[in-house]
Amino acid sequence: MNLPKKVLVTGGAGFLGSHLCERLLDASCEVLCVDNFFTGSRQNVQHLTDNPRFELLRHDITFPLYVHVDEIYNLACPASPIHYQNDPVMTTRVNVHGAINMLGLAKRVSAKIFQASTSEVYGDPEIHPQPESYWGHVHCVGPRSCYDEGKRCAETLFFDYYREHGLKIKVARIFNTYGPHMHPHDGRVVSNFIIQALQNEPITVYGDGSQTRSFCYVDDLVEGFIRLMNSPDEVTGPMNLGNPGEFTILELAEKVISIIGSSSKISFLDLPADDPKQRKPDITQAKDVLGWEPKIRLEQGLLKTIAYFDNLLSSS
Ligand code: NAD
Ligand code: UDP
Ligand code: UDP
């Protein structure tokens, strides 16, 4: 008899984690969702709680966790600048102590382990687009450093456990992703612009809006997670996962206003410190090794995300 795969998702009640849990349940896995609800919520996984293969555990992964699982997706970490800068020492701690605990767990139970790393490991990049071979341009004592350096150290830990203990690791470098279940008040650009435009309030563009980002719709990203996890053991990453379509922040503002038909005007505010000027993934590796590339265009993804926030605003 084939027993269902037991999968632990840390940060499973967050934006990406909740979509991943749903996707794993659809693939007949047993899912243990571990979250301390720092930025995530029960609401994000409410629709999964009736599924007998789903379990939700409130736990902070900076403390040890003793469970039996076959696979671990380590997503726990606040992801937006407002949240990760709110308690920067905690941000470093979850990235470093949290990763050590999850790696220790993976080692004890021989589980395969996936790390949600980030394009922020490239910092304010001098090479464009960014391939995995680029070592990055990261400030180590700035306001974003707790996140960037925390994630870099987590990658180091993953590769040290791989070399020292032969762990099966999968490290994904995730680029900006958006979709339903984004936290409405975490200050990320897509959620901010959509909420502002739906309420016909000024759209807050930081700087002159010429900085670029590449936005991936959440369903495409989660497909990439699953393919990376299921890839042969020698595929460890780090591997970029993101949508190479690159837009200026001003272009994004104009798209959101036009799709919603909003009367919002653009308001230019100061650019935050260390804000990267450009970001776009080179996804050659993901294409070649996983046969993966995003399918959902920005306009399509924005429509789905707008519908989510519209519903959220009208029910609150
Ligand atoms: P999110 O803030 O919605 O989710 C993070 C989850 O982790 C939340 O549910 C939070 O409560 C939980 N968490 C935080 N600290 C914890 C702890 N100590 N113990 C247990 N749970 C804890 O963010 P997200 O956008 O879903 O990001 C998920 C992961 O993907 C993060 O590691 C993030 O760094 C990474 N990532 C996200 C993006 C993106 O664009 N969304 C880009 C790059 C990397
Ligand atoms: N750990 C855990 N769950 C486990 C096994 C280990 O949370 O099932 C934690 C434990 O707290 C430890 C960390 O993972 O501090 C690293 O474990 P490892 O075995 O690599 O190192 P050691 O215990 O020798 O420090
Ligand atoms: N940004 C903006 N207005 C906002 C929120 C963000 O102009 O209301 C800009 C921000 O300065 C950055 C880009 O949008 O240049 C992406 O910001 P986000 O926080 O979403 O992601 P990150 O900076 O981590 O890529």
Contact indicator for 121, 138 with CB cutoff of 8 Å = yes
Return the CATH number of the domain spanning residue range 6-247+254-315.
3.40.50.720
Instruction: Indicate which residue's Cα is closest to atom 4 of ligand 2.
Output: 105
Percent of the chain topping pLDDT 90: 96
**Per-residue pLDDT tens over the stretch 222-256:** 999 999 999 999 999 999 999 999 999 999 999 99
Instruction: Indicate which residue's Cα is closest to atom 14 of ligand 1.
Output: 77
d(CA 126, CA 137): 7
Among residues 265, 235, 232, which one has the least CA distance to residue 250?
265
pLDDT surpassing 70 at residue 315: yes
* Domain assignments of the chain as residue spans, ordered by start: 6-247+254-315
pLDDT surpassing 80 at residue 57: yes
**Per-residue pLDDT tens over the stretch 107-140:** 999 999 999 999 999 999 999 999 999 999 999 9
Q: Please, which residues bridge with residue 169 across strands? A: 113
3-state SS string over the chain?
CCCCCEEEEECCCCHHHHHHHHHHHHCCCEEEEEECCCCCCHHHHHHHCCCCCEEEEECCCCCCCCCCCCEEEECCCCCCHHHHHHCHHHHHHHHHHHHHHHHHHHHHHCCEEEEEEEHHHHECCCCCCECCCCCCECCCCCCCHHHHHHHHHHHHHHHHHHHHHCCCEEEEEECCEECCCCCCCCCCHHHHHHHHHHCCCCEEEECCCCCEEECEEHHHHHHHHHHHHCCCCCCCCCEEECCCCEEEHHHHHHHHHHHHCCCCCEEEECCCCCCCCCCCECCHHHHHHHCCCCCCCHHHHHHHHHHHHHHHHHCC
Q: How far is the CA of 124 from the centre of ligand 3 (A)?
A: 13
Give the pLDDT confidence score for residue 67 in this predicted structure: 98
Percent of the chain topping pLDDT 70: 100
Instruction: Indicate which residue's Cα is closest to atom 17 of ligand 3.
Output: 189
Q: Which atom of ligand 2 is nearest to the CA of 67?
A: 8
Give the pLDDT confidence score for residue 120 in this predicted structure: 96
d(CA 79, CA 183): 10
122 is a catalytic site residue: no
Contact indicator for 111, 67 with CB cutoff of 8 Å = no
Query: Mean pLDDT of all residues in the chain?
Result: 97
Tell me the whole-structure pTM to 2 decimals. Answer: 0.97
Give the pLDDT confidence score for residue 2 in this predicted structure: 77
CA gyration radius, the chain? 19
d(CA 251, CA 281): 18
Among residues 283, 299, 195, 203, which one has the least CA distance to residue 250?
203
Query: What's the mean pLDDT in 16-39?
Result: 98
Tokens found for residue 200: 């016909």
pLDDT surpassing 80 at residue 78: yes
**Per-residue pLDDT tens over the stretch 266-282:** 999 999 988 999 999 99
Residue list, ligand 1 pocket, CB within 6 Å: 10-11, 13-17, 34-40, 60-62, 75-79, 94, 98, 116, 118, 174, 176-177, 183
Complex ipTM > 0.95: yes
Q: How far is the CA of 167 from the centre of ligand 3 (A)?
A: 35
pLDDT surpassing 80 at residue 1: no
**Per-residue pLDDT tens over the stretch 198-226:** 999 999 999 999 999 999 999 999 999 99
> Where do we find the tokens 């987590």?
154
Q: How far is the CA of 7 from the centre of ligand 1 (A)?
A: 17
